[in-house]
Amino acid sequence: MPIHRMPRAAVPLGVLGLTLAGCQSLQTSDSFLGVVTPYRIEVVQGNVVTSEQVALIKPGQTRAQVRDILGSPLLTDPFHADRWDYVFTLKRQGFDDQQRSFVVLFDKDKVRKIDAPELPSENEFVAQISRKKLPTSTPKLELTDAEKAALPVPVVAAAPAASAVEVTGATRSYPPLETAAP
């Protein structure tokens, strides 16, 4: 092979190698060159169970009563018919993944035991999933009497002097837009 043909063959191979290397870097990072971030869909699975809901579950309640309060369980195992698993997962871009699991154990058709970690209240859960940053302090909306007294006295503007120039010219009258009703 002649020497002058060697660079021509190397250029496409080099471009192909750089292209494939670039594809691999896109797979491993969350952004391309620190500027473009690919969209990732939010994944919400399971039932949200709050501490207020768990407080309503009492030993001796039926499966139907538990289903009315907590909803249908995410997992019901045919090999463990006396166990309902409530699992909640939330994966969102820019936020930490959330996962909670909660188990209700039955003895035949009645609640025997609740195996629950510390669950957030409804307000805490809403604050955790909210995209908006809530203000940490409430703005002051009204002045105190001392602050009102410290304000400067408003200056009353003088009435404008009557104009010495009189406007003259042809005046024109226009017909009314609507005719008077008879």
In a domain, 178, yes or no: no
Q: Which domain holds residue 63?
A: 43-129
Query: In this predicted model, what pLDDT tens digit does every residue of 56-113 receive, in sequence order?
Result: 999 999 999 999 999 988 888 888 889 999 888 888 877 778 888 889 999 989 999 9
Cα–Cα distances in Å, from 82 out to 89, 101, 108, 132, 138?
23, 16, 7, 41, 49
Which residues contact residue 34 at a Cβ distance below 8 angstroms, ignoring those fewer than 6 apart? none
Q: Give domain status of residue 49, yes or no.
A: yes
Note whether 84 and 66 are within 8 A (CB).
yes
What does the pLDDT look like over 10-63, one tens digit per residue?
Answer: 677 777 666 666 554 444 555 556 677 777 788 888 888 888 998 999 999 999
CATH number of the domain residue 88 falls in: 3.30.1450
Tens digits of residue pLDDT in 152-179: 988 887 766 665 667 677 777 777 788 7
Alpha-carbon distance of 8 to 72, in angstroms, equals 66
C-alpha pair distances (Å), 182 with each of 157, 179:
49, 9
Say if 65 falls within a structural domain.
Answer: yes
Q: Is residue 106 situated within a structural domain?
A: yes
98 located within any domain: yes
Overall domain count for the chain = 1
Sorted by sequence, the CB contacts under 8 Å of residue 69 that are 6+ apart come out as: 53, 56, 57
Q: Which of residues 10 and 139 earns the better pLDDT score?
A: 139
- Domain membership flag for residue 79: yes
Within a domain: residue 70?
Answer: yes
Does residue 21 lie in a domain region?
no
